[in-house]
């Protein structure tokens, strides 16, 4: 009897420790870091795949677009599964698919096989990404921007730890071996971490104390997509994500066309690496750093104010890369700034979604909004067409204009529109005697 009681006590202590919201946040960050290579290390594989198979750069980059589309467009379904069954089974399945995607890439001998691998990897990445972000929003209703930012930082900066090993493995053993080794390694670790993931016992155990406008109503995804304010947020997400995705997928080809990719660069006086490898490491660090930073800032000064500053910065950085990027140090600097000003969208947009539409269905709602990244990815192959013969100016100008326009729209159109929407919803809830009328409208109290 005593032994049974001791086992139960030990189990309770373990459950309490792993159910701590900061522990859950750390688990989510690690999972995101492990799945990040599926997107951010892809550019390292493009040229080696082309050199061996001669399929054409645009055809190979279509695989990247397929990956992004699958990753993002299935997240609403994966988010619904998280809201219903919790994070553990969804992340576990995601781990299997994430690992299998790169294993298939390792053995792909045709474009259809490469595209199939992109589908498999996209399902895996979406399961992990959507689950971890949605879970963070639920655990931290009082620090939504910061929690979403820290979680997304794992996805942004995680690849920085493995860019150099992957690049070295591709150079020494071939891209096939790198796909196989890292696919199995990353998939196995994510699966193990999935076993420790739990959801909060209540949707909102801590009340928000943010300097941002927040709703008191929990909207289902079906109700959310019927509101004009959602589609404005969605449009801004697409506009800003497009430029960043083009940089993410094309930074390798851009460096090659500028004649800089293999240029040796020395940092700290003793570390010498090819410019492209060093640039990717710095870019991923900047991409990860900005997510919690801007999430934290947006908790303090407001979502739209932060969006105005960083979107404007991204547009100007693209113009800077176009103007000065042929010089090695300038290329590295402006590439890092693009990632710095772009990466924050993956903390600010989930946070603004929860602020506007509630936290109870946060995983599904944030997943629905996240499909904007997939829509934006459709422009990535277009960049290869516009940049024919190594001229990237048209790509940079178009992306910069769209991003700067998004900055202005966020400040002067979205901010007042979203405020009116939230205030109207809160007033209707306060006037309602019971939850029945809003339930029938597709909103859960």
Domain extent at residue 216: 12-444
Whether 7 is in a domain gets the answer no
Whether 70 is in a domain gets the answer yes
Whether 2 is in a domain gets the answer no
Give the CATH number, domain containing residue 369.
1.20.1250.20
- pLDDT tens digits, one per residue of 71-103: 888 888 888 888 888 899 999 999 999 999 999
Confidence (pTM): 0.75
pLDDT at 260 over 90: no
- pLDDT tens digits, one per residue of 322-344: 899 889 999 999 999 998 998 88
> Would you state the torsion angle of the CA atoms of residues 287, 145, 192, 361, taken in this order, to the nearest 10 degrees?
-130
Specify the pLDDT at position 122: 94
Whether 80 is in a domain gets the answer yes
How far from 283 is each of 105, 232, 339, 340, 419, CA to CA, in Å? Answer: 25, 29, 6, 7, 34
d(CA 312, CA 233): 17
Whether 82 is in a domain gets the answer yes
Whether 343 is in a domain gets the answer yes
Specify the pLDDT at position 16: 53
According to DSSP, residue 41 is labeled: T
d(CA 332, CA 116): 33
| Percent of the chain topping pLDDT 90 | 38
Give how many domains the chain has, as a whole number: 1
Residue that wins the pLDDT comparison between 289 and 161: 289
Over the chain, what is the mean pLDDT? 83
Whether 3 is in a domain gets the answer no
- pLDDT tens digits, one per residue of 37-72: 888 788 889 889 998 999 988 899 889 888 988 888
Whether 4 is in a domain gets the answer no
């Amino acid at each position: 009897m005593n032994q049974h009681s001791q086992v139960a006590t030990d189990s309770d202590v373990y459950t309490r420790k792993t159910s701590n919201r900061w522990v859950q946040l750390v688990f989510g960050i690690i999972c995101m870091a492990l799945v990040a290579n599926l997107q951010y290390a892809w550019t390292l594989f493009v040229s080696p795949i082309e050199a061996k198979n001669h399929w054409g750069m645009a055809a190979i980059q279509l695989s990247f677009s397929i990956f992004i589309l699958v990753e993002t467009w299935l997240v609403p379904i994966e988010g619904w599964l998280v809201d219903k069954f919790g994070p553990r089974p969804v992340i576990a399945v995601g781990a299997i698919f994430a690992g299998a995607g790169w294993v298939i890439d390792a053995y792909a001998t045709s474009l259809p096989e490469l595209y199939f691998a992109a589908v498999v990897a996209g399902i895996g990445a979406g399961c992990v990404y959507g689950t971890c972000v949605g879970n963070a929003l639920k655990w931290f209703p009082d620090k939504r921007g910061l929690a979403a930012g820290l979680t997304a930082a794992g996805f942004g900066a995680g690849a920085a730890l493995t860019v150099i090993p992957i690049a070295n493995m591709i150079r020494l053993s071939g891209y096939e071996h790198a796909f196989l080794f890292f696919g199995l390694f990353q998939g196995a670790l994510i699966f193990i971490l999935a076993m420790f993931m739990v959801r909060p016992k209540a949707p909102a155990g801590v009340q928000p104390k943010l300097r941002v406008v927040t709703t008191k109503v929990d909207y289902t995804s079906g109700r959310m997509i019927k509101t004009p304010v959602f589609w404005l947020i969605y449009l801004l997400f697409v506009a800003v994500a497009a430029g960043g995705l083009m940089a993410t997928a094309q930074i390798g080809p851009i460096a090659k066309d500028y004649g800089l990719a293999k240029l040796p660069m020395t940092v700290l006086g003793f570390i010498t690496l090819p410019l492209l490898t060093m640039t990717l490491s710095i870019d991923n660090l900047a991409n990860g750093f900005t997510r919690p930073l801007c999430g934290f800032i947006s908790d303090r000064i407001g979502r739209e104010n932060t969006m105005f500053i960083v979107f404007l910065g991204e547009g100007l950085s693209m113009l800077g890369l176009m103007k000065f990027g042929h010089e090695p140090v300038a290329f590295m600097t402006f590439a890092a700034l693009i990632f710095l000003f772009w990466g924050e969208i993956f903390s600010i947009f989930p946070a603004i979604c929860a602020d506007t539409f509630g936290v109870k269905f946060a995983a599904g709602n944030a997943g629905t909004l996240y499909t904007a990244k997939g829509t934006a990815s459709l422009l990535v192959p277009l960049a290869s067409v516009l940049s024919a013969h190594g001229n990237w100016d048209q790509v940079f100008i178009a992306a910069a204009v769209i991003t700067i326009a998004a900055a202005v729209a966020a400040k002067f159109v979205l901010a007042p529109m979203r405020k009116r929407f939230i205030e109207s919803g809160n007033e209707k809830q306060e006037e309602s005697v019971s939850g029945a009328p809003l339930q029938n409208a597709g909103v859960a109290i």
